């Protein structure tokens, strides 16, 4: 909104959570704010899959040291990732598919990504989020 006393800073990214019946895009921004964006009133651009693909390609080519500088850790197996995210839990009772489904349902795609054969996690406290809690890479 042009007259907003606390506008979203230019370059801030957000994810559309809902489009209501009048076309307002309700977004969750990387800075934690939740706002409605109005087509034709607010200034914004859509980040397409090409930028997401380029981001994933960049991450997948980074060395472990470079990833660490960005607080990202690479795991080559789902078992390693599961052990990192759920320390102390029995890793033998679930299949790899069940582990992957559990992780992807508990953590946002901004926190855990699968790129190729590897898994990447944005380092934060090594605990599962509370029910309904979203964790962002921002």
Task: Locate the DSSP E strands across 1-138.
Answer: 14-19, 25-29, 34-37, 72-75, 112-115, 118-122
Q: Summarize pLDDT for 43-97 with one digit per residue, the tens.
A: 887 776 677 777 788 888 889 998 888 888 999 999 999 999 988 887 788 999 9
Contacts of 33 (CB under 8 A, 6+ apart): 8
List 119's β-bridge partners, or say none: 75, 114
pLDDT at 127 over 70: no
In the predicted model, what is the mean pLDDT of the chain?
80
User: What does pTM read for this prediction?
Assistant: 0.53
């Amino acid at each position: 909104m042009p007259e907003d006393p606390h506008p979203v800073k230019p370059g801030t990214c957000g994810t559309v959570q809902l489009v209501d019946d009048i076309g307002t895009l309700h977004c969750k921004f990387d800075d934690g704010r939740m706002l409605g964006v109005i087509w034709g009133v607010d200034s914004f651009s859509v980040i397409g899959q090409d930028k997401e693909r380029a981001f994933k390609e960049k991450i997948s080519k980074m060395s472990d040291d470079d990833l660490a500088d960005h607080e990202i850790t690479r795991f080559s197996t789902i078992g390693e990732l599961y052990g990192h995210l759920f320390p102390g839990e029995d890793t033998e009772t679930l299949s790899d598919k069940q582990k992957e489904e559990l992780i992807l349902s508990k953590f946002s795609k901004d926190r855990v990504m699968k790129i190729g054969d590897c898994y990447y996690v944005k380092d934060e406290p090594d605990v599962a989020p509370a029910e309904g809690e979203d964790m962002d890479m921002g």
